[in-house]
């Protein structure tokens, strides 16, 4: 943060000036805007001083570390929020806090190098106190900007290092053509340049190497030794280097002949196994070939950089996308859980991933589905809270359980036996909370102690959120299906009661024709409701509705149906079912379907017009008796003429070949009404 002390001499900062960048200024502006603060700084630590490589809201280029908010961030190596700097025993001594301009609020995030060393801070400062501190969104955003600032400075360091390498190569080329009396002076300059490169490379986590193609020796910087996990030395042989490469990636390493003929790739990404801790790491190797006067390659000069965090971030994002796809495309709840757990297990290289339903009332964990490594036994069934009392109490608070080593926390001693019975030495458990109550949990088990990284815990929490959301959707659909079945059952009971009442009302009537007509119309209405209920009363399509109406009448084989997919809304589907039923029963009584040789053609088309997209449906009867317009207008004729209401148009023609009915309506109204 700002300081009232006398600024340090600019020459004391040396290469820190290389980290000035317009993009860093943009990050300071973004941090100020995100946190609604008048001042934002990107500060680089230099001894007891802070150099502001980017700033917004102030022109002060540097300040003292003591009595600043940044001192707390650097000491704790963690984000720090000071709601009132006058209330803080350290920062209230700062001249800019107790004097002009009267700084009050501070929030800062640490900047870490690739070696996890503190490099500086990204902070925002306000002239007003903020008892509420930062919101979760502001916390997350400030952290993301801090990481982006560090990446920008890392790329800047790499650019500077590359420029220096190119300059050194030019010096070596010029040295070969100069006279012998200049050789010693040129060699000294090259050594000085190389020392600068080593220092810059170590600061940015970049190692420098020089591979002599003649001797096979590789001159390396101390940073290269750190990356591959060997004691610091000046020379590594080509054979030793290849032994560090992951067995599956050794085929990528170019042989000497490829380097000599120029066919070897100069940029490679491959895995190594560190010699000291046997951990797998991804490295980026970049280089250039140095040639002699005749143009023959004599050495490969380049850099080595550990890119494992970047590779892991990409892999985590890819896995999250795959989990989302698996959850979206799964056809059952069980399939969704199985595929999601397997993806997480393979990505995290753990022994077991699964989901457990939780009944707080019964105090039971019930493992629904899970994935486990081939050499690990699966777990299933129910486990009581009593066996995992500490864990269950912890999860009921809504907090995520992160356990690196079962032996370390004293409060886990009473549950060690139960955990080890299922081969658990380290675990992460994410609770699923519904209205403040624990209803389930996603668990990740490791059979050996494991130091969970922040990236891994964040990844597991994001994956759990996706799984929980998908499970909620599955449960909601299941509940809705039960409700729909109950509604359909009651609706059918209601229609049955209506049908019984009609039969009782027509019991003394000799002509049972009206009763038969009324009953068949109830059946058609019920068929439309069946289709809509199967689709949550949202919509159906015309082809399915036609089949549902014609099949109960037994005439589906005599009606030639054709037309594209056409979505129908609930009200439209009901109207269509009544229209189609009236046309079919009329044809069975008086038209083409009343004789064996008669047929009906039912087709519809969709066309674009000036007024929008319109559906046109045609009903054509052929092969039946001659038809004439009815002498009186009954309910059936009125229903046909009413068609689809005010949004549609119906034309009835009594041709000599049979009844012709044409219905038109906008497709938008059909789908939404």
CA–CA distance, 459 with 365 (Å, rounded to integer): 24
CATH class as words, domain 538-669: alpha beta
- Residues 376, 351 contacting (CB under 8 angstroms): yes
pLDDT at 596: 87
Q: Are 29 and 38 in contact (CB under 8 A)?
A: no
CATH of domain 330-478: 3.30.450.40
Is residue 584 a contact partner of residue 550, using CB atoms and an 8 Å limit? yes
- Phi first, then psi, for residue 300 (nearest 5°) are -110, 120
Residues, the chain: 673
Q: CA–CA distance from 406 to each of 197, 306, 388, 418 (Å)?
A: 45, 31, 13, 11
Three-state SS for 618?
Answer: strand
Contact 53, 16 (CB under 8 A): yes
The rounded distance, in Å, linking the Cα atoms of 54 and 27 is 8
Q: Under DSSP, is residue 117 helix (H, G, I), strand (E, B) or coil? A: coil
Integer Rg of the chain from CA:
39
* Fold entry, domain 203-312: Beta-Lactamase (3.30.450)
Q: What 3-state DSSP class applies to 88?
A: coil
Scanning 204-248, the segments in alpha helix (DSSP H) are 222-228, 238-244
pLDDT value at residue 352 = 93
Q: Give dist(CA 358, CA 378) in Å, integer.
A: 18
CA distances from residue 98 to 7, 8, 64, 67, 87 in whole angstroms, order as listed: 19, 22, 16, 11, 11
Q: How far apart are CA 264 and CA 255, in angstroms?
A: 8
Superfamily name and number for 16-162: GAF domain (3.30.450.40)
**What is the mean pLDDT of each successive set of 10 residues along the chain, which is 673 residues long?**
39 48 84 93 88 89 88 92 92 87 92 87 94 92 91 80 81 73 66 60 74 88 88 87 89 85 87 88 89 86 87 84 88 89 90 92 89 88 87 90 87 83 91 91 92 90 91 78 56 55 56 59 58 54 83 84 86 77 83 89 90 88 85 63 69 85 85 65
**Can you tell me the distance from the alpha carbon of 226 to that of 283, in angstroms, rounded to the nearest whole number?**
12
The pTM for the full model equals 0.45
Compute CA distances 388 → 370, 372, 384, 412, 419, whole Å: 19, 21, 7, 9, 8
Q: How far is Cα 353 from Cα 130, in angstroms, rounded to an integer?
A: 42
- 165 burial class (0-12, 13-18, 19+ CB within 10 angstroms)? buried
User: Which residue is it, tokens 């950089």?
Assistant: 305
DSSP state letter for 81? E
User: Domain-by-domain residue ranges, the chain?
Assistant: 16-162, 203-312, 330-478, 538-669
pLDDT of residue 84: 93
Identical fold, 16-162 and 203-312: yes
Give dist(CA 552, CA 527) in Å, integer: 9
Q: Are 618 and 601 in contact (CB under 8 A)?
A: yes
């Amino acid at each position: 943060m700002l300081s009232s002390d006398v600024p340090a001499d600019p020459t004391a900062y040396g290469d820190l000036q290389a980290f000035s960048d317009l993009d860093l200024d943009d990050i300071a502006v973004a941090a100020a805007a995100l946190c609604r603060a008048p001042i934002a700084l990107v500060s680089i630590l230099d001894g007891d001083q802070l150099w502001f490589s980017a700033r917004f809201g102030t022109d002060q280029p540097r300040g003292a570390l003591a009595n600043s908010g940044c001192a707390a961030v650097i000491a704790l190596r963690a984000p720090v929020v000071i709601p009132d700097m006058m209330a803080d025993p350290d920062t209230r001594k700062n001249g800019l806090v107790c004097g002009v301009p009267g700084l009050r609020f501070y929030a800062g995030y640490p900047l870490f190098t690739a070696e996890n060393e503190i490099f500086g801070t990204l902070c925002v400062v306000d002239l007003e106190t903020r008892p509420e501190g930062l919101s979760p969104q502001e916390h997350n955003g400030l952290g993301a900007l801090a990481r982006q600032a560090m990446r920008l400075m890392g790329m800047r360091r790499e650019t500077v290092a590359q420029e220096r390498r190119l300059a050194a190569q030019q010096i070596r080329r010029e040295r070969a053509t100069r006279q012998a009396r200049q050789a010693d002076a040129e060699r000294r300059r090259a050594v000085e340049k190389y020392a600068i490169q080593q220092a810059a490379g170590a600061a940015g986590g970049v190692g420098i190497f020089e591979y002599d193609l003649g001797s096979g020796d590789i001159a390396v910087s101390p940073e290269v030794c750190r990356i591959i996990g060997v004691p610091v030395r000046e020379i590594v042989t080509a054979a030793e280097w290849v032994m560090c490469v992951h067995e599956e990636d050794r085929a990528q390493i170019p042989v000497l002949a490829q380097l000599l003929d120029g066919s070897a790739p100069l940029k490679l990404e491959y895995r190594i196994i560190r010699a000291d801790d046997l951990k797998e790491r991804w490295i980026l190797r970049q280089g250039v070939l140095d040639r002699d006067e005749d143009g023959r390659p004599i050495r490969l000069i380049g850099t080595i950089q550990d890119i494992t965090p970047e590779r892991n971030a990409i892999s985590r994002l890819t896995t999250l996308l795959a989990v989302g796809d698996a959850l979206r495309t799964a056809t059952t709840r069980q399939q969704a859980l199985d595929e999601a757990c397997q993806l997480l297990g393979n990505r995290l290289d753990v022994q077991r991933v699964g989901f457990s339903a939780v009944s707080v009332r019964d105090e039971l964990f019930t493992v629904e589905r899970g994935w486990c490594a081939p050499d690990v036994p699966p777990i299933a069934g129910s486990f009581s809270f009593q066996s995992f009392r500490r864990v269950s109490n912890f999860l009921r608070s809504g907090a995520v359980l992160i356990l690196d080593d079962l032996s370390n926390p004293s409060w886990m001693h009473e549950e060690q036996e139960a955990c080890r019975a299922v081969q658990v030495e380290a675990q992460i458990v994410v609770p699923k909370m519904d209205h403040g109550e624990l209803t389930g949990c996603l668990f990740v088990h490791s059979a050996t102690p494991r130091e969970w990284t922040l990236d891994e815990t964040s990844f597991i929490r994001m994956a759990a959120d996706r799984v929980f959301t998908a499970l909620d959707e599955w449960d909601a659909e299941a509940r809705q299906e039960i409700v729909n079945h109950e509604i359909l059952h009651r609706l059918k009971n209601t229609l049955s009661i209506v049908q019984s009442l009609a039969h009782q009302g027509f019991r003394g009537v000799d002509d049972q024709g009206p009763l038969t007509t009324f009953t068949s119309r109830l059946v058609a209405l019920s068929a439309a409701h069946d289709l809509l209920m199967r689709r949550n009363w949202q919509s159906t399509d015309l082809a399915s509705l036609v089949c549902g109406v014609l099949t109960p009448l037994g005439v589906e084989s005599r009606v030639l149906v054709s037309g594209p997919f056409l979505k129908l809304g609930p009200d439209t589907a009901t109207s269509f079912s009544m229209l189609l039923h009236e046309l079919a029963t009329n044809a069975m009584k008086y038209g083409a379907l009343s004789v064996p040789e008669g047929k009906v053609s039912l087709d519809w088309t969709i066309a674009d017009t000036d007024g929008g997209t319109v559906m046109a449906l045609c009903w054509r009867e052929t092969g039946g008796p001659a038809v004439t317009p009815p002498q009186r207008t009954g309910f059936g004729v009125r229903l046909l003429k009413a068609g689809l209401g005010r949004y549609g148009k119906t034309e009835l023609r009594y041709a000599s070949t049979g009844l012709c009915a044409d219905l038109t309506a906008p497709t938008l109204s059909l789908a939404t009404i």
